[in-house]
Amino acid sequence: MPVRPIITAPDPRLKARARPVAKVDDAVRRLMDDMLETMYAAPGIGLAAPQVGESLRVIVLDVAGKDEKPQPMKLANPEIVWASDERVRCEEGCLSVPEHYAEVDRPAAVRVRYLDYQNEIREVEADGTLATCLQHEIDHLEGTLFVDHISALKRNIILRKLKKQKRAEAEEPARS
Ligand code: GNR
Ligand code: NI
């Protein structure tokens, strides 16, 4: 099952804290590969395991531009070990909050410790889009969505629309 369906909000599976992986073994590597394929197909620049229904601390990303060489990243148990005092506002979207965007304030740069595809401990320091995306994906592992960082007013408008959309899809399963 390479490309997996992406869960959209509201859904209790997106609000749960994900479990750490004990070890990056073949099963975790298969999940990482499936997630990357799902992310490219969507298309998106990041994906967290809870978005495909796996409550595990696994994320994948590729923030390379359209005409650049792909830069796939696969991380298990990612942990922010340093964040800059400087903050930036960036427009964010989420495959689990389809068609909604909002500006989110976050640290401009972060250092993240993780287990790589070979189960080796590594660290990456990032700024720009990669820093924003790493924080967005690590948030998913805590059950946090980008809408949890914006005003309650904006959040409720988006969530109400998503609920309405889900209701419409449930009533017309054959269409669209
Ligand atoms: O594809 C995605 N784009 C994006 C844009 C700005 C900030 C964060 C992201 S992540 C998102 C894919 C996604 O939902 N990952 O969890
Ligand atoms: Ni997301």
What would the pLDDT profile of 55-73 be if each residue is shown by its tens digit?
999 999 999 998 999 999 9
Tell me, what amino acid is at 159?
L
Distance 105 CA to ligand 1 centre (A): 14
Distance 84 CA to ligand 2 centre (A): 22
Which residues are part of the catalytic machinery? 137
Preceding peptide of 43 cis, ω within 30°: yes
For residue 29, CA distances in Å to 5, 39, 59, 74, 116 come to 18, 15, 11, 9, 10
133 pocket-lining for ligand 1 (C-beta < 6 Å): yes
- Residue reference for tokens 């799902």: 38
Confidence at 172, pLDDT banded by 50, 70, 90: confident
3-46 tens-digit pLDDT: 999 999 999 999 999 999 999 999 999 999 999 999 999 999 99
According to CATH, what is the number of the domain 12-170?
Answer: 3.90.45.10
Identify which ligand lies nearest to the alpha carbon of 42.
Answer: 1
DSSP classification of residue 38:
H
Q: Which class for 117: exposed (0-12), middle (13-18), buried (19 or more C-beta within 10 A)?
A: middle
**Is the model's pLDDT at 129 over the cut of 60?**
yes
- Which atom of ligand 1 sits closest to the CA of residue 51? 16
Q: Which class for 5: exposed (0-12), middle (13-18), buried (19 or more C-beta within 10 A)?
A: exposed
Which residue from 17, 123, 117, 46 is spatially nearest to 76, judged by alpha carbons?
117
Domain boundaries, the chain: 12-170
92 pocket-lining for ligand 1 (C-beta < 6 Å): yes
* Contact indicator for 102, 91 with CB cutoff of 8 Å: yes
